[in-house]
Amino acid sequence: MQSDLRNRDLIGDLDFSKEEVETVLDVAFDLKRKRALGEPHAYLRDKVLAMLFFFSSTRTRGSFEAGMAQLGGHGAFIESKTTQISHGDTPKEIGEIFGRYFDGIAIRHCDWGVGNGYLNAVAKASRVPVLNMQCDVYHPFQCLADLMTIIEKKGRDLRRKKMVVSWAYAASYQKPLSVPQSLILQMPRFGMDVVLAHPPEFRLMPEVMDQAREQARKFGTGFEVVDDMDTAFKDADVIYAKSWGALVHTADAEEGAKIIKKYEHWITDERKMALGKPDAIYMHPLPADRNIEVTDGVMDGPNSVVYDEAENRLHAQKAVMALTMR
């Protein structure tokens, strides 16, 4: 167990070593048990987290805010548009000034090519931990909750379990690449054989792919890329299928939207789920486009773990906050 995570940032999934992630998981399971038993766990009494949002949220806002209250502190919800950021407050001002008011700065900034740089610039100027509530490159807290959920359903020894990270059709908007990128970076460290499936235009960032291959090599796991859902889903233990944008292929939103329309058949339905192992779990970070990205039958079916997965955001985030902000 790595017991000193005080004042550490969590911006990219590999910022914490495997051992440090194991510590986070241990604490998260303990906090989940404490909440189930109604045991007090006010480890962050009088501490305040700034929660700065440049983009909308249901789960992330709710779970960080509830989590801070349950830890005895407070989460201050701040929308970027209600600040002076558009009138000149730079990331340096935010890091310097919020770092003096607050005990942690959590930020969601998903703008392609901007978000991750923004978080790192705030972190450089901040004396308190900066926590990534999702940027254009990573969604590390979602990934920690996903890992916690997989361990609950499949056990702590995940070696040789097949995890599919698949693109899925959704026309609502070009969603960030952060969820699949975090998954392919983190899961090999815990022994899972990852199969990434996407149509050709939905490649992930080349530098993230290189890092994911490196993690798979280092931890002796499989890492494969395929271009159809059926091949990917065969004999899978974990099926994680969600939409993301053609952002590496084109920066043009109109062209991206046109490309997405070619792949309406990339929906997770009962036939495709049946290609996986009988006890395969279906995962999605939500929100999902029901009956477009995934059928109601799968989302609400016996293999779906999406609500446990959403719940685990709370416990995983509380663990990181308690460890870094105390």
Q: Which residues bind ligand CP (CB under 6 A)?
A: 57-60, 134, 142, 285-286
Complex with ligand CP: residue 141 or 223, whichever CB lies closer: 141
195 Cβ contact list (under 8 Å, min separation 6)? 162, 163, 164, 165, 222, 224, 225, 226, 232, 236
The tokens 């901007």 sit on which residue? 114
Least distance to ligand CP, CB of residue 235, Å = 27
Beta bridge partners of 104: 49
Identify which of residues 65 and 214 has a Cβ nearer to ligand CP in the complex: 65
Instruction: Sort strands 162-167 and 48-53 into parallel, antiparallel or unpaired.
Output: unpaired
Distances (CA, A) of 231 to 122, 188, 240, 259, 297: 42, 20, 14, 22, 21
Least gap, CB of 299 to ligand CP (angstroms): 14
* Residue number closest to ligand CP, CB atom: 60
Which of residues 125 and 238 has its CB atom nearest to ligand CP in the complex? 238
Q: Please say which residue, 166 or 221, places its beta carbon nearer to ligand CP.
A: 166
Q: How many CA atoms within 13 Å lie on the side-chain side of 96?
A: 5
Q: What is the closest distance, in whole angstroms, from the C-beta atom of residue 143 to ligand CP in the complex? A: 10
Q: Shortest gap between Cβ of 133 and ligand CP (angstroms)?
A: 8
d(Cα 158, Cα 161) in Å, to the nearest integer?
A: 5
CA–CA gap between residue 325 and residue 42 (Å, rounded):
12
Cβ nearer to ligand CP, comparing 57 with 250: 57
Residue 87 burial class via C-beta count within 10 angstroms: exposed 0-12, middle 13-18, buried 19 and up: exposed
- DSSP H stretches of helix in 71-192: 91-93, 99-101, 115-125, 140-154, 178-186
Q: Rank residues 23 and 134 by Cβ distance to ligand CP and give the closer one.
A: 134
Least distance from ligand CP to the Cβ atom of residue 292, Å: 17
CB of 304 to ligand CP, least distance (A): 15
**Two structure tokens written together for 200:** 């050709």
Query: Rounded to the nearest whole angstrom, what is the least distance from the CB of residue 63 to ligand CP in the complex?
Result: 8
The nearer residue to ligand CP, 275 or 286, going by C-beta atoms, is 286
